[in-house]
Amino acid sequence: MSQDPLRYFRVEARELVDQISAGVLDLDQRPGTELVARLLRFAHTLKGAARVVRQQEIADRAHAFEEVLVPHRADDGPLPAAEMRELLRLNDEIEAYVAALEPGAEAPAPPADHAPQPAAAERARAVAAGTAEQAGAAEHAGAAEHAGTAEQAGAAGRAGAAGPAPPAAPAEAVPAARAATADVDDLLDAVGEAHARFAPLRTGNAALDRLRRAAETLADQLRAGRTAEQTATARASAVRLAADLGTFGRQLVDTVEQVERELDEVRGRAERLRLVAASSIFTALRRAVRDAAEAQGRRVRFDGRGGDLRMDPHVLGLASSALLHIVRNAVVHGIEPEADRLAAGKPAEGTVTVAVERRGSYAAFLCTDDGRGFDLAAVRRTAEARGLLMPGSTDPGEQALLDLVLRGGISTSPTVTEVAGRGIGMDVARDVADQLGGDVRVRTATGRGTTVELVLPLALLSLHGLIVEAAGSVATVPLDSVRTCVRLRPEQAATAVVTGKLAHDGEALPFLPLARALYAGTTVDQEEGGPGVAVVVAADGRSVAVGVDRLAGTSTLVVRPLPELAPAAPVIGGVSMDLDGNPRLVLDAHGVVAEAARVGGGAAPAEPAPRLPILVVDDSLTTRMLERSILESAGYEVDLAASGEEGLDKARSRRYGLYLTDIDMPGIDGFTFVAETRADPELAGVPAILVSSRASAEDRARGAAVGAAAYVVKGEFNQEELLAHIRRLVPA
């Protein structure tokens, strides 16, 4: 027997609570009998399961939830506001009790008026009936409340539960990173398929034993005499054995290849279980929009898009916490009162849309409202009042004012409420972006609305991909960016390579051979006749044709970002791992489109601008040769100088992209070398890095004073740090 009797109930209850939460919010926006029936099924299932495991608190609230909905089974109209509030309150309490069942969670204290369950159920029925008198009578025994209207009845019910009721699930809660049942089912199906493929290998043992016996018989025949009849018999046996071996070998190869494909699919699905669908945050965001709208007395609809994208739960959790603030701000500061919207020719109901998009190895979260837009004049007044801008100073411009909003502490709300007025919210998005190395931007249009764009790097990303081969390399194209695949005749391929265009579906698409994009600047072995297939890829509203040698199927994979110190072609967005643990390139559709536009068609891409050489100045032969080796391995051309004087002579005789110099040298030292190059108008634009055994703050300060762009200590020498400085300073 299980040591944890609630183990399976917790899993079922969490899923039912998620479905109920989303269903209630759907019912608020799109009422209908079908949705009421679905919610009743969820609540009834939860009630029955809770009673089986003796979770009476949950069962009672699920029953009260049913009581509110039952009268609306045949009613397509919207529920009264008081009843919607009651459903949300019961949903919050159920969610809190389910959360309290987690190991280590603190159990919520039962409400004081919880014992007489009939009274609670009667109150729910009274609220459902919409009569203040019934509501007041039902509540009188437990709370001695009085309500004058149905709206007040709902408020009184909330007030009665506010003190002793279990705490509602926190609004900032991050979606639980758990696998959906459908994902587990898919994984189990894939495992079953892979397991079934082993059957031919198991039955092949008998065939292998038969072949072994045939080989032994043939060996005996060969050891026997050499009569014509025996020779003919041995020859016939050898022919049969060779045929049987060929058949068995083909079967074995086919089976192994199929098993490999199945196991690759299993691995991909298993990795996907580590990731969470973006849609898991939509319910909390929709609830935040509804609550803020109700507090402001406005009608606002929430729309979530791109929820199928699956990503690292840590990134998604941080994005969710920022978006909760952003959507509240959109309602409070953006969406106008109904009368103002109608006067402006807008629908009475405002809209807040959260869209999630994949951009290569980044995810973009866009929150867009159709409200009034930022009041930049009010932002300026607030900034001046807080001393962030001088009164009467030159207009800093729209973007500068929006940047001030992102810094936090600036609010145009005249009062402080539960959802606005403290000047916090936008800075949460900025903090999340800073924490993960992302970016946040704001676009606003007076009278038309605002878009807040939060772009975050993805440590892991799941996608379906089309596997392609080009010039001996295997790569994956994200399947959601593939529009079609076209088989090319040799003459078509040759024309497309020469002209850089492919005629397809009535238009001339830019044509980019993938081998050329992957190995820019190098010579590759292209298959004879050119690419055999064109994969039409779309991104940023444009389409391009990518030439590959062949297609190799589809796969579900998890994409990892490239290491920072591994520069790659612009078309590469990340890597995945194959069954052997080898990296497989994953293309970035946006990079592919941009690269096709950059190349612009023709037989060969434009030659890249030559990278300027680096001058290494050091009196130590060992240091010079070490630095030269590091730089040449990274693809740089290097010149050497053994003294400051020689370094200055070379600097004046050739154009360099960077000076890398020691400090302690006979004659002209490194400080002087840098100072003299800064004083020379023809050399002043070339950055310089000081590399020295000196590590004091005074020496670092002196290096900065003479104009060094970076300072690297030999005792703390880090090759990656040095290359990072150089990549930053030397244009590619």
Q: Where are the domains of the chain?
A: 7-162, 181-272, 277-457, 461-599, 614-729
| pLDDT for res 394 | 64
Alpha helix stretches (DSSP H) within 170-307: 181-196, 199-223, 228-272, 282-296
| pLDDT for res 204 | 65
Closest CA to 560 of 361, 279, 403: 361
Whole-angstrom distance, CA of residue 695 vs CA of residue 716: 9
| pLDDT for res 663 | 92
Whole-angstrom distance, CA of residue 264 vs CA of residue 624: 48
The burial class, CB within 10 Å (0-12 / 13-18 / 19+), for 473 is middle
| pLDDT for res 268 | 65
| pLDDT for res 267 | 67
| pLDDT for res 415 | 46
| pLDDT for res 137 | 35
> 189-198, 210-219, 283-292, 499-508: which range is least confident on average?
189-198
Residue 351 contacts residue 300 (beta carbons within 8 Å): yes
> 239-243, 541-545, 662-666, 698-702: which range is least confident on average?
239-243
Residue 284 contacts residue 324 (beta carbons within 8 Å): yes
With bands split at pLDDT 50, 70 and 90, how would you rate the model's confidence at 331?
very high
The CATH label, of 2.40.30.30, 1.10.3720.10, 3.50.50.60, 3.40.50.2300, for the domain at 614-729 is 3.40.50.2300
What percent of the chain shows pLDDT beyond 90?
20
Residue 438 contacts residue 517 (beta carbons within 8 Å): no
With bands split at pLDDT 50, 70 and 90, how would you rate the model's confidence at 283?
confident
Tell me the residue type at 464: H
Closest CA to 272 of 174, 173, 176, 178: 178
Mean pLDDT over 306-330 rounds to 87
- What's the mean per-residue pLDDT of the chain? 76
What are 433's two structure tokens?
């972006």
Beta strands 461-470 and 550-559, pairing class: antiparallel
With bands split at pLDDT 50, 70 and 90, how would you rate the model's confidence at 411?
low
Q: Is residue 690's pLDDT more than 80?
A: yes
The DSSP code sequence of 163-191 is TTSPPPPPTTPPPP----HHHHHHHHHHH
Mean pLDDT over 186-199 rounds to 62
Q: Is residue 387's pLDDT more than 90?
A: no
> 169-178, 206-215, 469-478, 619-628: which range is least confident on average?
169-178
Q: Tell me, what DSSP letter sits at residue 667?
A: S
pLDDT, one tens digit per residue, over 611-652 is 789 999 998 887 888 888 888 877 889 999 999 999 999 999
Which range in 163-172, 601-610, 622-631, 684-693 is most confidently predicted, on average pLDDT?
684-693
Whole-angstrom distance, CA of residue 309 vs CA of residue 366: 14
The DSSP code sequence of 653-720 is HS--SEEEE-S--SSS-HHHHHHHHHHSTTTTTS-EEEEES---HHHHHHHHHHT-SEEEEGGG--HH
Phi, psi (rounded to 5 degrees) for 571: -80, -10
The CATH label, of 1.10.357.10, 2.60.40.10, 3.30.565.10, 3.40.30.10, for the domain at 277-457 is 3.30.565.10
CA angle 452, 288, 97 (to 5 degrees): 140
| pLDDT for res 276 | 83
Q: Is 667 left (phi over 0), alpha (psi -120 to 50) or beta?
A: left
* More confident position, 189 or 214: 214
| pLDDT for res 233 | 73
Q: Is 541 left (phi over 0), alpha (psi -120 to 50) or beta?
A: left
| pLDDT for res 517 | 82
Which range in 197-201, 414-418, 666-670 is most confidently predicted, on average pLDDT?
666-670
pLDDT, one tens digit per residue, over 224-251 is 656 677 677 777 777 777 777 777 777 7
- Strand, helix or coil at 668? coil
What percent of the chain shows pLDDT beyond 70?
73
| pLDDT for res 65 | 92
| pLDDT for res 118 | 40
Tell me the residue type at 221: Q
Q: Is residue 351's pLDDT more than 90?
A: yes
Which range in 34-48, 115-129, 377-391, 555-569 is most confidently predicted, on average pLDDT?
34-48
Q: The domain 7-162 belongs to what CATH superfamily? A: HPT domain (1.20.120.160)
Residue 640 contacts residue 654 (beta carbons within 8 Å): no
Residue 409 contacts residue 423 (beta carbons within 8 Å): yes
pLDDT, one tens digit per residue, over 156-176 is 333 333 333 444 444 444 444
Q: Is residue 577's pLDDT more than 80?
A: no
Whole-angstrom distance, CA of residue 532 vs CA of residue 538: 20
Contacts of 349 (CB under 8 A, 6+ apart): 299, 300, 301
Which range in 40-44, 62-66, 122-126 is most confidently predicted, on average pLDDT?
62-66
- N-terminal to C-terminal alpha carbon distance within the chain: 65
* More confident position, 689 or 730: 689
> Which residues are paired to 487 by β-bridges?
533
> Which residues are paired to 536 by β-bridges?
484, 545
> 279-288, 448-457, 592-601: which range is least confident on average?
592-601
Q: Is residue 297's pLDDT more than 70?
A: yes
- Strand, helix or coil at 336? coil
State which H helix or E strand residue 594 sits in.
Answer: helix 589-599
Q: Is residue 365's pLDDT more than 90?
A: yes
Contacts of 139 (CB under 8 A, 6+ apart): 119, 123, 126, 145, 147, 153, 156, 157, 160
State which H helix or E strand residue 453 sits in.
Answer: strand 449-457
Whole-angstrom distance, CA of residue 599 vs CA of residue 577: 30
Q: Is residue 295's pLDDT more than 50?
A: yes
| pLDDT for res 533 | 92
Whole-angstrom distance, CA of residue 90 vs CA of residue 77: 21
Note whether 277-457 and 461-599 share their fold.
no
| pLDDT for res 671 | 94
Q: Is residue 469's pLDDT more than 60?
A: yes
Cβ atoms within 10 Å of 546's Cβ, excluding its own:
31
Contacts of 191 (CB under 8 A, 6+ apart): 266
Q: Is residue 384's pLDDT more than 70?
A: yes
| CATH code for the domain defined by 461-599 | 2.30.30.40
| pLDDT for res 169 | 41
Q: Is residue 143's pLDDT more than 70?
A: no
With bands split at pLDDT 50, 70 and 90, how would you rate the model's confidence at 607?
very low
Beta strands 658-661 and 501-504, pairing class: unpaired
Closest CA to 501 of 618, 601, 571: 601
Mean pLDDT over 479-503 rounds to 88
